[in-house]
Structure 1
């Protein structure tokens, strides 16, 4: 069984931080390098930063598969869209429908708030995720490069799914 659970407590934030470290180390060293992975984990995925982001209106969730925590996501309403800032699933649990359940949940949240659709950014070289998003109705709307400090950039495609 797949479940989406709201992350609201310090223990939840610590769980998301742990999941982030595990998942990012599985996928991203080959795409952005280990040094940038460590920087981005500290800057965007620590329990402290997650708590701050929640205080600013972001909603974090962790994803479970048969009671095992296997991923996480974060969303925030932004400019008539629901911005999907994070959606990550552990490698061993990909292909089990977890991402689809998560995106269905996000669709419902966006519709509940009468938003126009969902926006996200995905690394240009993360071809598997891009293909998955396209399969679920997202369109690539533009490329973007964002300076995140320490000499690092996020080199992304911005994608949208309109309702």
Structure 2
């Protein structure tokens, strides 16, 4: 099923990304990091105010849409000569249908459009489904990082990279 990508520019669209974040994170991440950390990370990193501030600082969000319904979202920023893919999230019902692959093709089109060297991302070390999907698309683990995000929580991630 084909999807389209809608650039997020309005407050209404930011609110929609906020709603999707809460739904997707609660569907997917509770078994990986627990509900308390999910709630903390949503409050700290994925709320309307944070996203609005990010947009004003050059961060880019896209809604992933299918038949005019929003089924996920992408968030990225340009760092040095790479596109840093900070967010690629789909509703559980949309996974396994090729939409992640279509989204990655779109991301690489964005990287080429900006004449960047590659795409870099971080993924939780225990998010096996996402790791397999990224590796299938040609990403390689280049490093790992444990980042203290406050309140006793850490992000325990692999850093993946794929040249354009």
TM-score by length of structure 1 reads: 0.98
Give the structure 2 partner of residue 35 of structure 1. 36
Give the structure 2 partner of residue 151 of structure 1. 152
TM-score by length of structure 2 reads: 0.97
Give the structure 2 partner of residue 72 of structure 1. 73
| CA displacement at 1:99 relative to structure 2 | 1.0
Give the structure 1 partner of residue 96 of structure 2. 95
Q: Helix, strand or coil: the match of 2:103?
A: helix
| CA displacement at 1:100 relative to structure 2 | 1.3
* Structure 1, unaligned runs of 5 or more: none
| CA displacement at 1:146 relative to structure 2 | 0.6
| CA displacement at 1:56 relative to structure 2 | 1.0
Give the structure 2 partner of residue 131 of structure 1. 132
How do 1:107-126 and structure 2 match up within 5 A? 107-126=108-127
Determine the C-alpha separation between the residues in 2 that align with 1:87 and 1:120.
10
CA deviation vs aligned residue, 1:20-56 (integer Å, no higher than 9, x gap): 0000000111111100000111111111110001111
Determine the C-alpha separation between the residues in 1 that align with 2:55 and 2:155.
22
| CA displacement at 1:79 relative to structure 2 | 1.6
* Corresponding residue pairs, total: 163
| CA displacement at 1:144 relative to structure 2 | 0.5
> Which consecutive segments of 4 or more residues in structure 1 shift more than 2 A?
none
The CA RMSD over aligned residues, in Å, is 0.8
Q: Helix, strand or coil: the match of 1:118?
A: strand
* Structure 2, unaligned runs of 5 or more: none
